[in-house]
Amino acid sequence: MAEQDAAAHSVDGGRTGRPVLADLYQRWALDIIPGLGSACAVLCRDNPQEFKNMPPDALDVLANLRYRTGFDSTYLDDQGRRALISPVLGDSDGTKARERTGAFHRSADALRGRAKDFVQRVATTGEAQLRLAFQDSATTFQKYLTTVDGNVVHDAYDRYATHFDDVVAILRTTEFAAGLGLPPAPSHWPLDTSWDGDGAMLVHAVSRRSQASGGRPVVSDEEFLQLQRLAAYGAEAITAVLTNTKIYSDVKETDAAIGSAYRWWTAIAEYTGTLGVPAR
């Protein structure tokens, strides 16, 4: 039954070729990006000498980020984005003090925990049983994801992605980065797996300037690189659970999915400082 559901569920996110839920998870874990949209706009407007060469089209985007955030359904503030996404994916994994009692986090924690059990086993005894336990957790996780997927999730994705992508476009703009004395973020950042340091330094620079004026806490470049890893590995594991029917019957495919889930666990543990603490 799990194999049939996985085969039936392969909805393209329209941007990465993955299921919408996988793409949405990756963006939600990187919620710091839309959270810095207004800060980018304020930086530019309050420092005209540093940003005097900004292109007109980029200034239009910044105006949307400054004046529409919190007043438009595609430019939601922190509270609005949480209200939009948390019923599906719980609190963002990019928030260290997140609430983890919801259905998504319970089933994701179980998946990662069974992957950890398998990878960190001290003997080959029980390997088959540990693999079956992972498959059972994958089935439970898949059932949750397929239950919530639908038009409401797709609408949430479209609204969230607009805000997210506009901020990314600003951070890729050469003139904006130059105003901070930095190179721009590269194309395909931040959803690729290159873990680019230039983009991470931009996030750090904007968050530092924002925090100095009473904004959100500073995000270091190291923390953002950790966030990229947990976001990408989570999306990879979700994609495997939703689309790869062989993880329920083929040992090699199961072990590959276990590897993805274990990397997801490791990335979260490193980001939260809980590496070595048993997964639930």
pLDDT tens digit string along 198-228? 999 999 999 998 876 656 778 999 999 999 9
Phi and psi torsions of 72, nearest 5°: -145, 140
Range 97-129 burial, b when 16+ CB lie within 10 A, else e: eeeeebbbbbbbbbbbbbbbbbbeeeeeeeeee
- Please state, in angstroms and rounded to a whole number, the distance separating the CA atoms of residues 199 and 196: 6
pLDDT score of 112: 97
- Please state, in angstroms and rounded to a whole number, the distance separating the CA atoms of residues 16 and 31: 18
User: 101-150: per-residue pLDDT in tens?
Assistant: 789 999 999 999 999 999 998 877 789 999 999 999 999 999 999 999 99
- Please state, in angstroms and rounded to a whole number, the distance separating the CA atoms of residues 39 and 65: 9
Closest CA to 164 of 18, 40, 11: 40
Is 172 buried (19+), middle (13-18) or exposed (0-12) by CB count in 10 A? buried
Q: What is the DSSP letter of 126?
A: T
- Please state, in angstroms and rounded to a whole number, the distance separating the CA atoms of residues 17 and 9: 13
Count CB atoms within 10 A of the CB of residue 139.
20
Report whether 69 contacts 76 (CB < 8 A): yes
Q: Model pTM greater than 0.85? A: yes
- The answer to whether the bond into 19 is cis (omega within 30° of 0) is no
Q: Is the pLDDT of residue 66 over 70?
A: yes
Report whether 85 contacts 92 (CB < 8 A): yes
